[in-house]
Amino acid sequence: MLFVRMLRRVGQSPACGCWTPVLPVRFLGVSPRQIPADANFHSAFFSGTDHPRVLITGGLGQLGVGLANLLRKRFGKDNVVLSDIRKPPDHVFHSGPFIYSDILDYKNLREIVVNNRITWLFHYSALLSAIGEANVSLARAVNITGLHNILDVAAEHNLRLFVPSTIGAFGPTSPRNPTPDLCIQRPRTIYGVSKVHAELMGEYYHYRYGLDFRCLRYPGIISADSQPGGGTTDYAVQIFHDAAKHGKFECNLEARTRLPMMYIDDCLRATLEVMEAPAESLSMRTYNVSAMSFTPEELAQEVLKHVPEFQITYNVDAVRQAIADSWPMKFDDSNARKDWGWKHNFDLPELVTTMLNFHGSETRVAQAN
């Protein structure tokens, strides 16, 4: 009986325009994790006053609090629920709704989505590249098993789902300068493998079940008031802190390691823009987004313009260097620019000025100006 219901023909597949039987997402479990037969899988419509109700997972990392601030400005404070498995600092706890959510606990996820009437989900929980290599089994659980839970809850409750991917979803056999959207993806980190898996699974759910899945491949993200969580591009955040405070920085990547990077404001705006883009404008569901590309040497030269005594030294971390050497040097994001009008605001000079202004008000940057 259950099986018969699962095979009921429910609509047209967006992929081929033909009638397809819809199987439950988790057929083998007799759990209710199945796509409801009468669901409207396409983008929910929100009028000017009818805002989405947003959940952010893994929200206490480098990017989540900034995303919550941006979305709360747009959709209202109470319409954006931040979640994580860590305890929030006071200012975060008091800035809007916060809830405990472990993405490995499906029932907990479903309860949050139902009780808060969530309609959009931004899935930020992950273990990043360097920390993932140090803890492969946890990275596999969080980045892959956790993603499966997210896809299922999103499909089951007809959510619009954003999952970030990364430059780390490419590998040494990918074209590196520039790296287009569609090319060989054979990453050599568990982080990269899990992100390719996320891209493919999200697109599969989109074409198979009509899930409104949207994904951007972020470059290394640089932020002033939040710390990176254990990635290969972390040096490009730490350098500003050390330059302003100590006038020197020890870099764990080689001087000539070129990687795509982006200031956090551009990254979060891109995320909101792709989520708000009309479905018809999206010719793909996973896009590269890019802003700038630089080496530690070039970044240090730009910092020197503000901190004249600044010195950079190199103490290369073999694991991070091997990862960086397999990643894109420059990202081709022409599809994002063409399809939904992506345009970055921050290049290297603006990035460095902004970061040092933030860190430098009472330090050697201020003294130099």
Ligand X SMILES: NC(=O)C1=CN([C@@H]2O[C@H](COP(=O)(O)OP(=O)(O)OC[C@H]3O[C@@H](n4cnc5c(N)ncnc54)[C@H](O)[C@@H]3O)[C@@H](O)[C@H]2O)C=CC1
With beta carbons less than 8 A apart as the criterion, state whether 171 and 134 touch.
no
8 A C-beta contact, residue 191 and residue 129: yes
* From the list ligand AKB, ligand X, none, partner contacted by residue 52 (C-beta under 5 to 8 A by kind): none
Smallest gap from residue 323 Cβ to ligand AKB (A): 8
Q: Report helix, strand or coil for 274.
A: helix
Nearer to ligand X, 60 or 155 (CB): 60
Based on the shown chain and the rule CB under 6 A, indicate whether residue 179 belongs to the binding site for ligand AKB.
no
Contact 12, 19 (CB under 8 A): yes
Q: Which residues bind ligand X (CB under 6 A)?
A: 57-58, 60-64, 84-86, 101-104, 124-126, 128, 142, 146, 164, 166, 218, 220-221, 228-229, 231, 233
User: Is the Cβ–Cβ distance between 68 and 82 less than 8 Å?
Assistant: yes
We find the least distance from the C-beta atom of residue 198 to ligand AKB, in angstroms, to be 12
Q: Please give the Cα distance from 294 to 239 (Å, whole number).
A: 13
Is position 263 annotated as part of the catalytic site?
A: no
Task: State the binding partner of 124 from ligand AKB, ligand X, none, CB within 5 to 8 A by kind.
Answer: ligand X
Q: Which does 85 bind (CB under 5 to 8 A by kind): ligand X, ligand AKB, none?
A: ligand X
Q: Among ligand X, ligand AKB, none, what binds residue 84 when CB lies within 5 to 8 Å by partner kind?
A: ligand X
Question: How far is 90 from 93, CA to CA, in rounded Å?
Answer: 5
Least spacing, CB of residue 129 vs ligand AKB, in Å:
3
Measured between alpha carbons, how far is 356 from 353 in angstroms, rounded to an integer?
5
* Antiparallel, parallel or unpaired: β 165-166 and 220-222: unpaired
Query: What's the closest the beta carbon of residue 324 comes to ligand AKB, in angstroms?
Result: 8
Could you give the CA distance from residue 36 to residue 333 in angstroms, rounded to a whole number?
A: 36
Residue given tokens 């409207």 in the structure block? 40
Q: Which of 106, 124, 191, 263 is catalytic?
A: 191
Residues 109-148 contacting ligand AKB, CB under 6 A:
128-129
Contact positions vs ligand AKB (CB under 6 A): 128-129, 166-168, 191, 220, 231-233
